[in-house]
Amino acid sequence: MLFSAVLQTKEKTRMFKHILGHLESKLDSIKPLIEEIAECNKVLHLTEEELESLRVEMEKGVELVRKCSKVSLWASNKKYEYTNKLLGLDEYLQRLINILRVQLARDAKESLVSVTNIETVTKQIEESSMIQHDQTESQRPVVELP
């Protein structure tokens, strides 16, 4: 919703076009990460708690962007106020990008550790079954043919 609100407001107003362009760019890079996290949460049957605060902030951002579209060109004090609020939203999105990158790197490393552990256990099981197979082969009686 925030992405579409930014696009609509950017088309309607020239006053915040530059800042809205930055927001659009950041939202464009965040969107696939958030969708991936949400999809993984569904597959892993996790709650959406980690995305709840993000959802709330995005809803606040939608309200802010919509208010910006109603600011008159002549209201310089409102322009200053909303510019600062949009810059705050931009900073929040940048922090979010940084946090998501760190979380993705952590999750990837945890996955690699799990895969390595699984490989180790699988090799141990295979070696154990080979040893048992060899032992049963050596215990079979040898029948000599005449």
Residue 66 in this model has a pLDDT that exceeds 70: yes
Q: What is the CA radius of gyration of the chain?
A: 29
**DSSP designation for 73:** T
Secondary structure tally for the chain: helices H, strands E = 4, 0
pLDDT value of residue 10: 83
Question: Is the model's pTM score more than 0.75?
Answer: no
Closest residue by Cα to residue 25 from 90, 85, 103, 98: 90
Contacts of 23 (CB under 8 A, 6+ apart): 6, 65, 86, 89, 90, 93
pLDDT digits (tens, 9 = 90+) for 75-104: 777 888 888 999 999 998 888 888 888 888
Mean pLDDT is highest, among 8-12, 40-44, 88-92, for 88-92
pLDDT value of residue 113: 92
**Contact by Cβ (8 Å): 2, 72:** no
| Residue 86: count of CB within 10 angstroms of its CB | 22
